[in-house]
Amino acid sequence: MKVSVIGTGYVGLSTATVFAELGNNVVAADIDKDKIDKLNSGIMPIFEPGLKELVERNIKEKRLSFTHDNEEAIVHGEVIFICVGTPPKVNGETDLKYVEAVAKEIAQTMSSYKVIVHKSTVPVETGEKVKEIVKENIKENVDFDVVSNPEFLREGTAIEDTMEPDRIVIGADNQRPAEMMKKLYSPIKAPLIITDIRSAELIKHASNSFLATKISFINAIAQICELSGADVEKVAEGMGYDKRIGKSFLNAGIGYGGFCFPKDVQAFIKIAEQYRYDFQMLKATHNINQEQKQNFVEKVKNTLKEVKDKKIGILGLSFKPNTDDMRFAPSTFIIPELQKQGAKIKAYDPEATEKAKSILNDVEFCNGPYEVCKDSDCLLVLTEWNEFKELDLKKIKSLLKSPIMIDGRNIYNPEDLKKEGFTYISVGREDVV
């Protein structure tokens, strides 16, 4: 099939690449000319495992091309995916201006039947809004349909999640676009859910908000564990064997980050308010997540006694491993808070350093984890990169001014740190002092 994707962020680029890999003729468009020029030269704008190789292969096989001309993509595609950004407004609502602009451009350009798919995470009733915009701006008497096809990919595993999803959700108002979407997805073996557009839109917000709630729940349990002397990892293990609960998203830490969970939780609270429902559970989810980051700052202050003029080493800046995404990363809150107390920061991340440089000020960015440790008064772990789990603890201890580690991701065994003579503070577990 001829497929077009408007927007080449995490979702758009992964979507375009996978559909090309499945044998479709795909044109991906973005108004950012510099980004498109880089993509056409084989330079990835994001770090995502496996993406670069797939892009290069499909460009070579002439199944995938990139353009900064949206009209070219609109003319090309039988199915057009809208994958532009849906940033939050100041009040937490979703800003749909980019979705609306693309919908208008599609209407003014198309001259044959199109299936217009909004894949970005959007509020319920966005499908109707897109349909109205197209009807109001269409130049010719051309038929079209609007479909909701929410994405469920995770940064760091985006290709795998797109090719081997847990489910495929298609929200359509009639059979014609539903059948076209089924044909497009036919090579992918996954449960296929055909529903109305509003239900499809709500599925995405409900899914992300539930997962965010699960993270905040275990972080609240971690606080109780610290107060009671229990071990949150043992509690989570005991919970996780219950099939009704499951083990995933039960890792206590410094809270969720990234673009999806913080944005989608706030957006869903606003959506509920529009329907006159006070979503108190989600408000608590958001508040606990914010508190968890502040709690970690307090751990650092309480451990060091005096933060002013202390040199603090940071391992990990991205919001999670296997991505360079710094959006809403806990590091972007924790580091400035420590700097307000007079701390001097050294930091290292395997992939996110360049993006971090444009966000974090007055940070000494290092070339490796051991460089971070050298002459630092303590070491903080903010992202659970596998690289950090394999570090030489003896070497770390020899480089630090004081053998103090405060682990926001619980990547180490407290007994191992105790044997090496560290003061080791983690989340929801007994301190090693």
**Average of pLDDT values for 191-197?**
97
Q: Confidence band (pLDDT; 50, 70, 90) for 120?
A: confident
What range does the domain containing 163 cover?
A: 2-195
The dihedral formed by the CA atoms of 209, 210, 212 and 215, expressed in degrees to the nearest 10 = 170
Which pLDDT does position 283 carry in this prediction? 97
pLDDT in tens, 277-295: 999 999 999 999 999 999 9
- Do 323 and 387 lie in one domain? The reply is yes
Which pLDDT does position 337 carry in this prediction? 97
Residue 308 lies in a domain: yes
Residue ending a domain, among 174, 195, 216, is 195
- Do 187 and 236 lie in one domain? The reply is no
For the domain that residue 393 is a member of, what is the CATH number? 3.40.50.720
- Do 15 and 59 lie in one domain? The reply is yes
What's the mean per-residue pLDDT of the chain? 95
Residue 253 lies in a domain: yes
Task: State how far Cα 377 lies from the chain centre.
Answer: 32
Q: Do residues 408 and 296 touch, judged by C-beta distance below 8 A?
A: yes
- Do 295 and 361 lie in one domain? The reply is yes
CA atoms 355, 360, 362, 368: torsion sign: negative
Which pLDDT does position 141 carry in this prediction? 87
Which pLDDT does position 41 carry in this prediction? 87
Q: How many domains does the chain have?
A: 2
- Do 59 and 187 lie in one domain? The reply is yes
Which pLDDT does position 219 carry in this prediction? 97
pLDDT in tens, 14-46: 999 999 999 999 999 999 999 999 998 888 988
Residue 294 lies in a domain: yes
pLDDT in tens, 99-119: 999 999 999 999 999 999 999
Tell me how far CA of residue 177 lies from CA of 5, 275, 296, in angstroms. 17, 29, 49
How many Å apart are CA 335 and CA 345, to the nearest integer?
7
pLDDT in tens, 136-164: 999 888 999 999 999 998 888 889 998 99
Known catalytic residue: 83? Answer: no
Residue ending a domain, among 195, 226, 257, is 195
SS3 assignment, position 218: helix
**Average of pLDDT values for 389-393?**
96
Q: At what angle do helices 260-274 and 197-228 cross, to 10 degrees?
A: 120
Residue 78 lies in a domain: yes
CB count in 10 Å sphere of residue 61: 11
Residue 146 lies in a domain: yes
Residue 129 lies in a domain: yes
CA-closest candidate to residue 120, choices 150, 77, 80, 89? 150
Residue ending a domain, among 195, 230, 253, is 195
Number of residues that make up the chain: 433
- Do 224 and 139 lie in one domain? The reply is no
- Do 336 and 267 lie in one domain? The reply is yes
- Do 82 and 132 lie in one domain? The reply is yes
Residue 342 lies in a domain: yes
Whether this prediction's pTM lies above 0.75 is answered by yes
- Do 368 and 422 lie in one domain? The reply is yes
Q: Confidence band (pLDDT; 50, 70, 90) for 394?
A: very high
* pLDDT at residue 353 tops 90: yes
- Do 383 and 309 lie in one domain? The reply is yes
362 phi/psi in degrees, rounded to 5: 55, 40
**Average of pLDDT values for 272-276?**
96
How many Å apart are CA 77 and CA 28, to the nearest integer?
10
pLDDT in tens, 316-331: 999 999 999 999 999 9
Residue 200 lies in a domain: no
Q: Confidence band (pLDDT; 50, 70, 90) for 260?
A: confident
Q: Do residues 257 and 290 touch, judged by C-beta distance below 8 A?
A: no
- % of the chain surpassing 90 pLDDT: 92
CB proximity list for 302: less than 8 A, separation 6 or greater: none
Give me the DSSP letters along 143-170. -EEEEE------TTSHHHHHHS-S-EEE
Choosing from 83, 225, 260, 378, which is the catalytic residue? 260
* pLDDT at residue 224 tops 90: yes
- Do 227 and 148 lie in one domain? The reply is no
Q: Confidence band (pLDDT; 50, 70, 90) for 421?
A: very high
Which pLDDT does position 121 carry in this prediction? 87
Task: State how far Cα 387 lies from the chain centre.
Answer: 20
How many Å apart are CA 201 and CA 209, to the nearest integer?
13
- % of the chain surpassing 70 pLDDT: 100
* pLDDT at residue 258 tops 90: no
- Do 291 and 163 lie in one domain? The reply is no
Please tell me which residue, 190 or 139, carries the higher pLDDT value: 190
